[in-house]
Structure 1
């Protein structure tokens, strides 16, 4: 359905879905926070009036009290609190430093990240770390869990996750509850399958680790990647 045929209160949400958050005006963003307008004004128009009253400045809006916000027709206590809470989230976000993403330089870095998840398990699990072009971590995920000696990963699900994270490289790992770090034929087969699939998508497989309780084996370090 085209946006123009929707009720104005619904258009900001639909526009968000179709075109992304950057396409929304300030009034539309405020309309999403409020959820609805009043009998005379849509949520967008009400948002526009509120912003105009403070010179279309978010900082000025944050200075208004709940009672100030509630002076606008259609803004009750719940909407006023929603607006104030959203602005407080923005303030806290601006005050925080962006956390630096961990960079993977060697197999030990991968081990440090995944050892807490894998070392003490009684069954096998398969994990992946998703990396950007600087080999900094942009995400990680458990992709499968299995029995005592088997955890098969669906390569399609692995690369679906890669694409969702916009990853340009990956590192994978699974555990051997037995403590034996020797890779099985299945370990070698799935590693080759993932590496080959990554070449098609231009996503590099940096390493595959087998992790036990207090040690690990790196396919890259052993030149069997």
Structure 2
């Protein structure tokens, strides 16, 4: 029997808190009604009708003797607080720690999440006009999101501030990467760019520029002015926000 309003109010707070997901242990997906099975549900109701766990179940294909594929998907999501961005950061080895997930299934999940990231990246790069630091952040986010290491990129613009190209200059470690001014301006000159935007990420999530970041930005700004290739901004990317040298008056 469901508790009445008065009896529920008398319960201790900890009894009213939602319990963690506990998967069933007696029935497999084949015993479900056909319209509730993930694959059949997608065919009948469309992909938008499926939960994240059900989509993961289709990628996994099967569960264990005690867990359905949907159960395994729910446990995977619960481990990252139902955050798909956090799930995308996990390595194949980390995914394999879940019951019923071996290398082949982990690779399938990683590949699917990577396709989603690339789709965003392709959509972002179509004739984008940069008018603010927020535009830069949205442009580079698909390529830099979830990276465990630092990368340095340049965005080349025409005279109308339309993005011509995005070029990766270097890829480094967790704490830093090399940004060679010669390579940066070589890309700009070869592509006849009118201006440049610098971007690098901080995997730590710290948005503040280091002393090296400030020194490099000053050096590149001076070189750009000499070559008539102005540096419009230098963006420090993190998954939770950014630092814009232009917005902060540092250019």
Deviation at 1:100, TM superposition (A): 6.5
Contact 1:122–1:148, Cα closer than 8 Å, also in 2:
yes
Q: What does 1:134-213 align with in structure 2 at a 5 Å threshold?
A: 134-213=160-239
Give the count of matched residue pairs. Answer: 127
The whole-number CA distance in structure 2 between the counterparts of 1:135 and 1:213 is 25
Rg bigger for which structure? 1
SS of residue paired to 1:161? helix
1:101-131 C-alpha deviation (Å, 9 max, x unpaired): 2111010111111111112110000011000
Query: What residue is the counterpart of 1:130 in the other structure?
Result: 156
Please give the secondary structure, in 1, of the residue aligned with 2:235: strand
Cα deviations by residue, 1:42-77 (Å, 9 ceiling, x for unpaired): xxxxxxxxxxxxxxxxxxxxxxxxxxxxxxxxxxxx
Query: In structure 2, how many angstroms separate the alpha carbons of the residues matched to 1:134 and 1:100?
Result: 15
Deviation for aligned residue 1:214: 2.0
Displaced runs of 4 or more, over 6 A: none
Q: Structure 1 stretches of 5 or more lacking a match?
A: 1-98
Asked if residue 214 in structure 1 is aligned to residue 202 in structure 2, the reply is no
**Deviations along 1:137-168, whole A, 9 cap, x unmatched?**
11111100111111111000000000111001
Q: How does 1:1-225 map to 2 (within 5 A)?
A: 101-225=127-251
User: Structure 2-normalised TM-score?
Assistant: 0.49
Partner-residue secondary structure (3-state), 1:181: coil
What TM-score do you get using the length of structure 1 for normalisation? 0.55
Alpha-carbon contact 1:119-1:214 (below 8 Å) kept: no
Larger RCO (CA within 8 A; separation ≥ 6): 1
